[in-house]
């Protein structure tokens, strides 16, 4: 069974009138933080999830309240022992936001990996950064080969950071409800500080 949380009820219902969902998909309407903070609802249930995707945007920004230690702990309570969490972010030169998110998820889950376009490590462009987390031992040990079978039509295989995770995080602080802030918008000037300096340069 799949369960999805959506805040924009009217918009989604308009879409569903044209493209109905599979009957196995259960929809919960409301604020994601409020839902995970509440007691399990009949739709969400007390059962754990094998895969949880966190893709929560307001335009091009992720709100602070769905990107903190407390939020991820509540999510972790509903993930199975072998389950995975995937958090979709947008970041750029310096990776200040995604490094803090990786550090925060590492404080909750035993295994964490980061997936991005390798070209982003040149600190010249913005793009999606996906942080993966799990309590399954060795969950990402073979992650470097996950995309090895990509089709010839693929523009570029994603780059996976797992063994070098500590080097990527580089002491970034864990984010709590008290210290969390919204993700930087794509035009944020702080990216300029790191522009053009390779991230993993010696």
Per residue in 108-136, pLDDT (tens digit) is: 999 999 999 988 999 998 999 999 999 99
For 58, which DSSP code? B
Residue 3 has pLDDT above 70, yes or no: yes
Q: How confident is the model at residue 149 (pLDDT cuts 50, 70, 90)?
A: low
Q: How confident is the model at residue 202 (pLDDT cuts 50, 70, 90)?
A: very low
- Site of tokens 């993930």: 79
Q: Cα separation of 39 and 129, whole Å?
A: 31
Structural element, H or E, at residue 145: none
Tens-digit pLDDT profile for residues 161-182: 888 899 999 999 999 999 999 9
Give me the residue spans of the domains in the chain: 48-194
Residue 67 has pLDDT above 90, yes or no: yes
Instruction: Check residue 68 and give its pLDDT.
Output: 98
Which of helix, strand or coil describes residue 148?
Answer: coil
Interior/surface letters 176-197, b for 16+ CB within 10 angstroms, e for the rest: eeeebeebbeeeeeebeebeee
Residue 156 has pLDDT above 80, yes or no: no
Q: Where are any strands of DSSP class E within 7-78?
A: 25-29, 49-54
Q: Cα separation of 42 and 133, whole Å?
A: 26
| Class of 48-194 in CATH | alpha beta
Sign of CA dihedral 158, 162, 164, 166: positive
Residue 51 has pLDDT above 60, yes or no: yes
- Site of tokens 């919204």: 182
How much is the mean pLDDT over the chain?
A: 86
Residue 38 has pLDDT above 50, yes or no: yes
């Amino acid at each position: 069974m799949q369960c999805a949380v959506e805040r924009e009820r009217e918009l989604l219902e308009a879409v569903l009138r044209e493209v109905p969902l599979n009957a196995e998909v259960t929809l919960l309407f409301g604020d994601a933080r409020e839902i995970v903070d509440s007691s399990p609802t009949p739709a969400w249930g007390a059962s754990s999830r094998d895969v949880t995707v966190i893709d929560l945007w307001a335009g091009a920004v992720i709100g602070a309240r769905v990107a903190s230690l407390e939020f991820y702990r509540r999510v972790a309570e509903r993930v199975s022992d072998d389950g995975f969490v995937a958090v979709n972010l947008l970041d750029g030169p310096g990776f200040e936001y995604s490094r803090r998110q990786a550090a925060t998820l590492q404080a909750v889950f035993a295994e964490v990996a980061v997936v991005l376009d390798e070209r982003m490590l040149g600190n010249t462009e913005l793009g999606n950064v996906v942080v993966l987390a799990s309590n399954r031992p060795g969950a990402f040990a073979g992650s470097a080969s996950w995309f090895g079978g990509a089709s010839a039509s693929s523009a570029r295989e994603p780059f996976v950071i797992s063994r070098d995770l500590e080097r990527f995080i580089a002491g970034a602080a864990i984010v709590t409800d008290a210290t969390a802030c919204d993700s930087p918008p794509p035009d944020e000037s702080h990216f300029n500080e790191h522009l053009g300096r390779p991230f993993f340069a010696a």
